[in-house]
Amino acid sequence: MPDTEIAFIGLGIMGLPMAVNLVRAGYTVTGHNLTPERVDALVAEGGRRGGGVTGAVTGADVVITMVPDSPDVEELLLGPGGVYENAKPGTLVIDMSTIRPDVSRAVAEAGAERGLRVLDAPVSGGEAGAVEAKLSIMVGGVQADFEAARPIFDVLGTTPVLVGPNGAGQTVKAANQLIVAGNIQLLAEALVFLEAHGVDTESGLEVLGGGLAGSTVLQRKGRAMRERDFTPGFRIALHDKDMRIVTDSARAAGVAIPLGAQVAQSVAALKNQGHGGLDHSALLMIVQQLSGRS
Ligand code: NAD
């Protein structure tokens, strides 16, 4: 889709490298972000400056949003001066933020009423996945819109999958966040356990990584956790938001998630201690505290 004009709103840890990858693939990308320095970074890579939602969206064929939370998406899409007010009929609106499934369904319905084609397309793979264009993309919507968006998804990631109607992408993403949080928690416990036994954790993690205990979490977070480098990455505040989505959705469906509920408590505790800006691998700090090890 070389002639496709893309508006990209939300140029944070994930959005900026994703937008840059679209520029490098030859798309015309007009960016907008609350803090203008992130737009400067996109412009330096060949993108355009939207100067606001209206400037970014007017004339765009595709609008991608990548903002933190459900209220941000609602405000950005439905609010006064927002995307829906400015987008031309037929525009493909792809929300790649991680938000509540019911909100994704509601904004898709509101979009359809205005003649817009809306997909929820949350991602997994972290900052590295965004930079390396290796994201998993979990898409909710209709097949024709998924096919229309597919060339864009192919630039951003390796595994775009249509998993069901609007909202289904977010439900799969919630499951993803449940698995990731549990993985990090157990890796943190294993690390503190190894340290307490005086085992060299570098070689310990190396061999664990080659067996059934190996995981993408271990590969991507192991070294930083050993070194206590909790630079985000994925902020605890965002994972707290996601664990709320997971626990609410599980309760609504009558599903017990005892382990997930417990990890959700640790994520919330970390945030309440003022560590919401750290990477989610900082769950290790809670394990240390509980173990009386500083
Ligand atoms: P971030 O906080 O780094 O970036 C969000 C950006 O959106 C910020 O630059 C902010 O200024 C901008 N923004 C917020 N509201 C806006 C608005 N109304 N208009 C314009 N810009 C606005 O967050 P992130 O880590 O990039 O995450 C974005 C989304 O992706 C979240 O829903 C998150 O859960 C999800 N996600 C993050 C990761 C990760 O590893 N960081 C991985 C997968 C999914």
Ligand 1 within 6 A of CB of 98: yes
Spatial contact of 217 and 183, defined as CB atoms under 8 Å apart: yes
Active site residues per annotation: 173
Report CA(131)–ligand 1 centroid distance (Å): 14
Ligand 1 within 6 A of CB of 184: no
Q: How confident is the model over 157-176, as a mean pLDDT?
A: 97
Q: Whose CA is nearest to atom 30 of ligand 1?
A: 97
Report CA(207)–ligand 1 centroid distance (Å): 35
Ligand 1 within 6 A of CB of 72: yes
Q: Are 5-165 and 171-290 in the same CATH fold?
A: no
- What angle, 0 to 180 degrees and rounded to 10, lies between the N-to-C axes of helices 236-253 and 168-196? 120
Q: Domain ranges in the chain? A: 5-165, 171-290
- Residue 20 pLDDT exceeds 70: yes
* 35-78 confidence digits (pLDDT tens): 999 999 999 999 999 999 999 999 999 999 999 999 999 999 99
Q: Whose CA is nearest to atom 21 of ligand 1?
A: 33
Q: Which of 121, 243, 265 is nearest to 175 (CA)?
A: 243
* Cα separation of the two ends of the chain: 54
Assign 3-state DSSP to the chain and report helix, strand, coil percentages, each to 5.
Answer: 55, 15, 30
pTM for the model stands at 0.95
pLDDT at 1: 55
pLDDT at 294: 79
Give residue 164's pLDDT band: very low, low, confident or very high (50, 70, 90): very high
Spatial contact of 97 and 72, defined as CB atoms under 8 Å apart: yes
Burial grade of 182 (CB within 10 A; 0-12, 13-18, 19 or more): middle
* 231-286 confidence digits (pLDDT tens): 999 999 999 999 999 999 999 999 999 999 999 999 999 999 999 999 999 999 99
CATH topology for the 171-290 domain? N-(1-d-carboxylethyl)-l-norvaline Dehydrogenase; domain 2 (1.10.1040)
Q: Whose CA is nearest to atom 5 of ligand 1?
A: 12
Q: How confident is the model over 108-137, as a mean pLDDT?
A: 97
Spatial contact of 178 and 156, defined as CB atoms under 8 Å apart: no
d(CA 102, CA 18): 25
Ligand 1 within 6 A of CB of 79: no
* 201-216 confidence digits (pLDDT tens): 999 999 999 999 999 9
Q: Which atom of ligand 1 is nearest to the CA of 97?
A: 32
For 152, the token pair is 């864009």
Q: What is the CATH number of domain 5-165?
A: 3.40.50.720
